[in-house]
C-alpha cells in the first residue's frame, strides 16, 4: 500500500468517527498559519505584480562613497568610478544617494540594513518571503560570502530571530540539486515518517473520546496540522521523484569558505542564486559580503593590508586606492550576475532580470568612521524605469528614508497591502 492510499483511508476513517476535520483548501490552511504570528501569508500576492523575486546584497564595510556616487543627479549622470563596471546595464539600475534609516552609528547598527531604524525588526526580505514563499520549495535563502561573522546579522524574521546564513556553496547546491544518496535518505525519512503518522493520530483520537468541547477544538487544530504536514511531506516526496532539472554547473572540489577566498565564493554564490531563481527553487535571497581581515589577491597581486584595515583608510590615498580595488571586484561580480539574469529566463521565457529586484547596498555609510548614514544603494531589475541617480537631501524636512524605498520595492512585488515599512510610509517614484 502506498502512502497516498494510506492517507486517503485515514481521511475516511477520521470522517467516519465524526471528528470535524474538513480538508481545507490550501488558502484557508494558510489562514490558520496566519494566526500564528500576527500576519503571515494571509493572501496570495497579486499575480500580475511586475516583480516576482527579491535579492538583497549587503556589504559589511559598505562602499567608498566618492567612488560609488555619480556627481550629477538625474538621468544624464556621468558614470562614477564604481558604476562604470556596470556600464552595460546602465538602463537597468537606479543609484540612490542620501538614504538611510535615521538610526544611530556603530558596529551593532549595521544589522538594521534591511530592518529599518531598529535592529531586529522583520527585515525586508522576510516581509517579502512571507507572501512569496508559498509559491516555492525553499521560502528564502540567506547566504554569506567570506566567513560568517559572529556579530553581524542581516535577515530577521517576524519574531526578531536573526536567520542563520549559509556560506558553503556545496550546502546550497545540495539543497538545490541533491545527490542520489541524499535523495534516497530524504525519501526514506519522508516515507517512513508518513507511514507512522497513524500512530500519533490514533493516540490523539483516543484523547478525543474524553475531551471537553474546548479540548476538542484544540485537538481539531492538531489533526488539521498533522494533515497539512502530511500533505507537505507528500509534496516533498513528489518533488523528489521528479527528475532533477539538469543544470550545467560545476562546483569547485572545495568550499571556498576561507576568508581569503571570499571573492571566489562571492562569484559562486551569485551563480547559485541565478540557478535557484531559474529553477524557481526560491524567489527570495540575501547575500552578506563579509569584511574582516582577509587579505585579497587581485589580478595575481596580494594586497598588503586586509580588507578591514583598508576600510579604516584614514584618508590615506594608497589605502583608498586598494580599498577601491577590492570594491571594484564586488561590482564586477554584480555586473556578471546582472548579465546572467538577462540571459537566463523564467518559465515564460522572459529574462529573469525583468521580474527580479536586486537591491545592492549596505548598512555602513562610511566604514572609516563607522558611520551609518547616507548609505550607498543601488536597485536593478524588477520592471522599474531605471537609468538615473536619485539623490535625497537628508536635511530636507520631507527627505525620504530608506524604508520608503523598501516600501516601493514591496509594492512592486505585489504586496500592495503594505502601507509602511518600519514606519516609513511614502513610497518613492523610481
Partner 1 sequence: MRVSILFIVALPWFAIAQPTAIPDGPLDLLYTYCFDCHDETTTEAGLNLDVLEIDWGDAHAREHWTDIYTRIVREKMPPKDKDQPTPEERQQLLAWLDKELMAHSPVGGVPMRRLNRREYRNSLKSVFPIIGFELPPGFPADNESHGFDTVSDALVISASHLEAYRETATDVADYLFPQPRVLPATQKVEVGVDDISISYSSGAKIDGAMRLASSGIMVRNAVWLSKFEAPVSGTYRVTMDLSAMNPPPSETPVLHLEANALSGKKTTRTLGAFEVASAQPEGVAVDVELYRGETLVFTYKNAPLNYGNKETYYEFIHTLLSGEPALAAAWQRLDDQAKAIGATRGVPRGGGGWIRLKEERAKQPDAVLPIKKLEALVKKIAGNSVSSGETIVYKYFEEGPNIGIHGVTVEGPFELVDDPTTIAQSKAKQRFIGDFINDEVVDLEGFFNTYLAKLFRRPATWSEVQAYVAIVRKEQAAGYTMEDGLHLAVRTSLLSSSFLYKESGSETVLSAYELASRLSYFLTSGPPDYPLLSQARVGAIAEPTVLVAEVKRLLKAHNKTFATDFTSLWLDVHLLDTIVPDSKLLSNYNKSYRQSLKDEVVLTFQEILKKNQPVSQFIDPDFLYTNPTVGWELYELKQHSAVKLIRPNRRKQEKLTRHEIPRGTRHGGLLGMPAVMLATANGVDTQPVLRGVWMLENIIGRPPPAPPNSVPALSPDLTGATTLKERLAAHMADKSCASCHEDIDPIGFVFENFDAVGRWRTEYPPSVGGAEPLPVDATGVLPEGTKLNDVSDLKRWLVEHPEHFANCLAEKLMIYGTGRELNYREKKMLKEIVSENLTSELGFADLLGALVQSEIFLKR
Residue ranges in 348-407 that form contacts with partner 1 under rule CB under 8 A: none
Q: Is residue 24 part of the contact set for partner 1 (CB under 8 A)? A: no
Contacts with 278 (C-beta within 8 Å, 6 or more apart), sequence order: 247, 344, 345, 346, 352
User: Do residues 70 and 44 lie in contact, with contact meaning Cβ atoms separated by under 8 Å?
Assistant: no
Contacts with 238 (C-beta within 8 Å, 6 or more apart), sequence order: none
Interface residue with partner 1, options 73, 148, 371, 430 (CB under 8 A): 148
Among left, alpha and beta (phi > 0; psi -120 to 50; other), residue 306 is beta
Binding residue count for partner 1, defined by CB under 8 A: 93
User: Do residues 330 and 266 lie in contact, with contact meaning Cβ atoms separated by under 8 Å?
Assistant: yes
Interface residue with partner 1, options 72, 91, 316, 417 (CB under 8 A): 316
Q: Is residue 203 part of the contact set for partner 1 (CB under 8 A)? A: yes
| Helix residue spans in 100-212 (DSSP H) | 124-132, 169-176, 180-195, 197-209
- Kindly tell me which of 3 and 83 has the beta carbon lying closer to partner 1: 3
Interface residue with partner 1, options 5, 241, 250, 315 (CB under 8 A): 315
Nearest-angstrom CA–CA distance, 81 and 78? 10
Strands 356-361, 377-381: pairing kind: antiparallel
- Kindly tell me which of 266 and 322 has the beta carbon lying closer to partner 1: 322
> Position of cell 538621468?
75
Interface residue with partner 1, options 313, 333, 389, 401 (CB under 8 A): 313
Q: Which residues, numbered 265-294, are part of the site for partner 1 (CB under 8 A)?
A: 292-294
- Kindly tell me which of 25 and 347 has the beta carbon lying closer to partner 1: 25
- Kindly tell me which of 315 and 397 has the beta carbon lying closer to partner 1: 315
Nearest-angstrom CA–CA distance, 311 and 367? 6
Distance from CA of residue 340 to its chain's centroid? 18
- Kindly tell me which of 212 and 241 has the beta carbon lying closer to partner 1: 212
Give the shortest CB-261-to-partner 1 separation in angstroms: 6
Pick the stretch among 66-74, 84-92, 312-320, 419-427 that binds partner 1 (CB under 8 A): 312-320
Let me know the angle formed at the C-alpha of 404 by 399 and 406, rounded to the nearest 5 degrees. 145
Give the shortest CB-9-to-partner 1 separation in angstroms: 6
Pick the stretch among 10-18, 52-60, 71-79, 344-352 that binds partner 1 (CB under 8 A): 10-18
Pick the stretch among 118-126, 274-282, 338-346, 421-429 that binds partner 1 (CB under 8 A): 118-126
Of 120, 80, 86, give the one whose Cα is nearest residue 336: 86
Q: Is residue 17 part of the contact set for partner 1 (CB under 8 A)? A: yes
Q: Is residue 115 part of the contact set for partner 1 (CB under 8 A)? A: no
Nearest-angstrom CA–CA distance, 367 and 157? 26
- Kindly tell me which of 155 and 362 has the beta carbon lying closer to partner 1: 155
Q: The C-alpha cell of 240 is what?
A: 523528489
Q: Is residue 171 part of the contact set for partner 1 (CB under 8 A)? A: no
Q: At what angle do helices 197-209 and 213-241 cross, to 10 degrees?
A: 170
Site string for partner 1, 206-235 (x = CB under 8 A): -x-xxxxxxxxxxx-xx-xxx-xx--x---
Of 34, 100, 33, give the one whose Cα is nearest residue 62: 100
Nearest-angstrom CA–CA distance, 346 and 274? 11
Interface residue with partner 1, options 11, 65, 118, 370 (CB under 8 A): 118
Interface residue with partner 1, options 1, 16, 180, 398 (CB under 8 A): 16
Pick the stretch among 71-79, 191-199, 352-360, 416-424 that binds partner 1 (CB under 8 A): 191-199
Amino acid at each position: 500500500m502506498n502512502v497516498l492510499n494510506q492517507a486517503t483511508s485515514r481521511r475516511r476513517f477520521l470522517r467516519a468517527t465524526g471528528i470535524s476535520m474538513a480538508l481545507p483548501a490550501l488558502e484557508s490552511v494558510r489562514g490558520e498559519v496566519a494566526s500564528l504570528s500576527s500576519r503571515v501569508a494571509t493572501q496570495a500576492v497579486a499575480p500580475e505584480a511586475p516583480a516576482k523575486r527579491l535579492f538583497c546584497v549587503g556589504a559589511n564595510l559598505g562602499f567608498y562613497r566618492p567612488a560609488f556616487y555619480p556627481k550629477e543627479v538625474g538621468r544624464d549622470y556621468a558614470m562614477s568610478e564604481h558604476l562604470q563596471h556596470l556600464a552595460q546595464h546602465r538602463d537597468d539600475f537606479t543609484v540612490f544617494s542620501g538614504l538611510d534609516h535615521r538610526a544611530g552609528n556603530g558596529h551593532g547598527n549595521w544589522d538594521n540594513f534591511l530592518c529599518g531604524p531598529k535592529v531586529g525588526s522583520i527585515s525586508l526580505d522576510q516581509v517579502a518571503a512571507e507572501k512569496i514563499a508559498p509559491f516555492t520549495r525553499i521560502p528564502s535563502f540567506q547566504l554569506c560570502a567570506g566567513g560568517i561573522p559572529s556579530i553581524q546579522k542581516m535577515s530577521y524574521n517576524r519574531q526578531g530571530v536573526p536567520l542563520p546564513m549559509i556560506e558553503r556553496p556545496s550546502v546550497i547546491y545540495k539543497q538545490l540539486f541533491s545527490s542520489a544518496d541524499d535523495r534516497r535518505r530524504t525519501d526514506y525519512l519522508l516515507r517512513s515518517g508518513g507511514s507512522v503518522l497513524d500512530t500519533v493520530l490514533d493516540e490523539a483520537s483516543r484523547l478525543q473520546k474524553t475531551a471537553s468541547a474546548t479540548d476538542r477544538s484544540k485537538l481539531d487544530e492538531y489533526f488539521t496540522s498533522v494533515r497539512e504536514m502530511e500533505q507537505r511531506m507528500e509534496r516533498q516526496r513528489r518533488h523528489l521523484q521528479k527528475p532533477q532539472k539538469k543544470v550545467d554547473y560545476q562546483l569547485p572540489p572545495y568550499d571556498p569558505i576561507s576568508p581569503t577566498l571570499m571573492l571566489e565564493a562571492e562569484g559562486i554564490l551569485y551563480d547559485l542564486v541565478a540557478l535557484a531563481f531559474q529553477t524557481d527553487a526560491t524567489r527570495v535571497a540575501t547575500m552578506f559580503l563579509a569584511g574582516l581581515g582577509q587579505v585579497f589577491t587581485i589580478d595575481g597581486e596580494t594586497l598588503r593590508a586586509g580588507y578591514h584595515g583598508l576600510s579604516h583608510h584614514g584618508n590615506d590615498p594608497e589605502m583608498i586606492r586598494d580599498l577601491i580595488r577590492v570594491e571594484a571586484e564586488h561590482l564586477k561580480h554584480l555586473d556578471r550576475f546582472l548579465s546572467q539574469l538577462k540571459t537566463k529566463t523564467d518559465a515564460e521565457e522572459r529574462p529573469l532580470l525583468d521580474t527580479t529586484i536586486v537591491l545592492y547596498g549596505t548598512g555602513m555609510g562610511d566604514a572609516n568612521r563607522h558611520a551609518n548614514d547616507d548609505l550607498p544603494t543601488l536597485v536593478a531589475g524588477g520592471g522599474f524605469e531605471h537609468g538615473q541617480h536619485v539623490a535625497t537631501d537628508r536635511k530636507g524636512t520631507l527627505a525620504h528614508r530608506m524604508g520608503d524605498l523598501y516600501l516601493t520595492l514591496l509594492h512592486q512585488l505585489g504586496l500592495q497591502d503594505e502601507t509602511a515599512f518600519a514606519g516609513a510610509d511614502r513610497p518613492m517614484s523610481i
